[in-house]
Structure 1
Amino acid sequence: MDKPCLHSYIKTRLLLGLIATQTHNELTTAYEQDVVSCRTHRRIRSKQELKAWVTPEESPLTEVRQKLFEEKTMFVMFFMTNGPLLIHQVPAGTPINAIYYRDECLKSIVKKLDKKRASSTANHVKLHHDNAPLHMNNILVNYFQEEKIKIMAHPSYSPHLAPPDF
């Protein structure tokens, strides 16, 4: 399992209310001991601690410093009642628009649902997401109608839309 997927799994388990040691134990049992460490914080040294006396012949010690901002990774996640269905990592610098959301996320969800519930028809699929302008674009509304996906009503940009809430 790659590092971004591990991070999203850990965050999801935390949102579900599981303690960190329990999640760590699950990961080590599933993926062996060296896949994830149980480090809880990173210590950044102060300038005072970095000072050191050197002789005129010696060159000063080189200290590798952390970037001002760590690189962030965006994920698009889809859940079913029994757990995550799709975790899609968005490549760095890629803008998410209606076409990207339809082609990269929704089409793969429909394929996974067809495999998972082949006997069930598409009329039983209900999608619960916020009604942000991106999600309610004409391109997506037409795609939902083609695939017979029902959209559950939800206020735009609601902070209460979180996977553990339903």
Structure 2
Amino acid sequence: MQAYLLAVYGIGFSRPRALSNAKDTADEICTVYGSGTTTIRTVRNWFKKFRAGNFDLQDEDRSGRPVTTDADLIKTVLAENPRYSVREIVDDTNIPKTTVHKHLIKMGYANRYEVWVPHLLTETGLMNRVSTCDLLLQRHERNPFLKSLVTGDETWILYQNVSRKCTWSKENRPSTVAKPGLHPKKVLLSIWWDWKGVVYYELLPQGETINADKYCNQLDQLKAAIAEKRPELVNRRGVVFHHDNARPHVAMVVRQKLLQFDWDVLPHPPYSPDLAPSDYYLFLSLKNSLRGKSFKSISEIKRTQMNILQVSLNNFGKRA
């Protein structure tokens, strides 16, 4: 743009052009380069420099902190601690608050809440997940085992399953719905299943949870159910068993019980719900189907959830 001003002023021509006033020149520059490219005041300042014999087109150094230095400082501070607030960045860098805010927006930063995850894995834990996944994939390529797999887990079933829905409202006043209490009425569902459907399940009485002794008793019931419903697993293929590493599942008495059964227990890395079929597939479908439903008794829960589970597992079996 400065070169264009020189041309307008007459520098570099064999016959100088007639000098234009600042307003006409600013209008002409905006016509060529786009609206808002320059202002009348800027053009006057450049003309003043030209009349004084200064035809240097480079911007002169100005006092104050360079813009790039401000941006680099903010990046450095956030790299050390991304939880810093704007005020803490100001205190650490001595950059004005408005300047910090502008730079954050310009650099694409946004201040959001952290995402909840079950556990922050260490480098060793991450490598354990990768190696376990690779081991399972290689095993399945050598000898497909999904149709011999029996997997299981536990989940809570609420008596009152509250759900939020979109509603039409006026004046930006959405409808309200009460959140579940801190201690809602619920029962624990323990379930084991394979590609054909439910093998064994149990709804524990209200207020009862799982411990190692209870889990061992459930495994005895599961073994009997497999012998009755899946005799081919017992007679030919053998049971490939999977559960996560919750405390009752990895207790010493439980490990001894599984050794007695001679089941092939698959490895499961810590804090990996996305690698557990029940968490990743079955329970997600179950909770979505239970939204908005209310129950008065365990028997009513039993009838409803068994229908839902069977439909979900039928769909799973078709894909297996």
> TM-score, structure 2 length as denominator?
0.29
Q: CA deviation at 1:131?
A: 1.9
Q: How does 1:65-80 map to 2 (within 5 A)?
A: 68=181, 70-80=184-194
Any idea what SS the aligned residue of 1:110 has?
Answer: helix
- 8 Å CA contact 1:132–1:157 kept in 2: the answer is no
Output the amino acid matched with 2:189.
Answer: F
Q: Partners of 1:143 and 1:90 in 2: how far apart?
A: 21
Q: 1:133 aligned to 239, 247, 256, which one? A: 247
Q: Partners of 1:91 and 1:157 in 2: how far apart?
A: 27
Inter-CA distance 158–142: structure 2 relative to 1 (3 Å threshold): same
Aligned to 2:277: 162
Any idea what SS the aligned residue of 1:113 has?
Answer: helix
Relative to its length, the structure with more helix (as a share) is 2
Aligned to 2:219: 106
Q: 1:152 aligned to 253, 266, 278, which one? A: 266
- 8 Å CA contact 1:78–1:85 kept in 2: the answer is yes
Q: CA deviation at 1:41?
A: 7.7
Any idea what SS the aligned residue of 2:208 has?
Answer: coil
Q: 2:211 aligned to 79, 90, 97, which one? A: 97
Q: CA deviation at 1:119?
A: 5.0
- Are 1:87 and 2:205 counterparts? no
Of structures 1 and 2, the larger Rg is shown by 2
Aligned to 1:26: none
Q: Partners of 2:234 and 2:192 in 1: how far apart?
A: 19
Q: CA deviation at 1:95?
A: 3.2
Q: CA deviation at 1:162?
A: 3.1
Output the amino acid matched with 1:157.
Answer: Y
Q: Partners of 1:137 and 1:143 in 2: how far apart?
A: 10
* Identity in percent: 22
Q: Partners of 1:68 and 1:141 in 2: how far apart?
A: 37
Q: 2:234 aligned to 96, 121, 124, which one? A: 121
Q: How many residues are aligned here? A: 107
Inter-CA distance 149–92: structure 2 relative to 1 (3 Å threshold): same
**CA RMSD after TM alignment:** 3.2
Structure 1 alignment gaps of length 5 or more: 1-7, 9-39, 43-66
Any idea what SS the aligned residue of 1:73 has?
Answer: strand
Output the amino acid matched with 1:110.
Answer: K
- 8 Å CA contact 1:98–1:134 kept in 2: the answer is yes
Any idea what SS the aligned residue of 1:121 has?
Answer: helix
Q: How does 1:10-89 map to 2 (within 5 A)?
A: 68=181, 70-89=184-203
Inter-CA distance 135–77: structure 2 relative to 1 (3 Å threshold): same
